[in-house]
Amino acid sequence: MYQKGEDLYYRPNVFPLKIAPLRERKEDIPFLATYFTEALVEKLGRPKTRLTRAGIEVLQNYDWPGNIRELQNMIERAVIVARGGALHFDLPLNNSDLTPPEPKAIQEEEPEYLTEPELRRRERENIFIVLRKTNWKIKGADGAAELLGIKPTTLISRIIKLGLKRPVSKNPT
């Protein structure tokens, strides 16, 4: 006859379940991440935190070799470190991130590298596009900082450094 520990091991094998790994179910990540965040905030007594779109994209772009347990541990770490507000995730690069990008079409003659002024110009354009999209809302849910995946204070300092100014409305009222 089985010992108690052995019995517990064999019982689940009566009807084994095959579940696809998390890397094949990326659409489940927002739900799981939200669930784990809310549960851990309550369990650990931490200040209310939230997942951002940028944070969810970071989570969905990772392959999760440790499956749901690894996701849960990553969120627990982020909740512990966070002081309220948006959660931030530092995940290692996937192997797919290490592959070189596809070569551009020959017609699109782009330089092999970007100079510092070109990098600043592109960063400035990108930030301006996001600010315009959010109607210059910097902080909070659906703010520019959240969409860019950076802290609002970082975005504000970049706006000042890059000399970005909100356009004046041309509609006289």
Element (H, E) at 86: strand 85-86
**Cα separation of 151 and 52, whole Å?**
11
In a domain, 100, yes or no: no
Q: What is the pLDDT along the chain (173 residues), one digit of tens a residue?
A: 555 666 666 666 677 778 889 989 999 999 999 999 999 999 988 888 888 888 888 898 888 988 899 999 999 999 988 877 788 887 765 544 444 445 545 555 666 777 777 888 898 899 999 999 999 999 887 889 888 888 899 999 988 888 888 888 766 55
In a domain, 163, yes or no: yes
In degrees and rounded to multiples of 5, residue 86 shows phi and psi of -80, 145
Interatomic CA distance for residues 36 and 20, integer angstroms = 19
Whichever domain contains 82, its CATH number is: 1.10.8.60
Q: Same domain, yes or no, for 29 and 65?
A: yes
pLDDT for position 81: 87
Q: Which domain holds residue 127?
A: 114-173
Number of domains present in the structure of the chain? 2
11 domain residue, yes or no: no
Asked if residue 76 belongs to a domain, the reply is yes
Q: What is the CATH number of the domain that holds 127?
A: 1.10.10
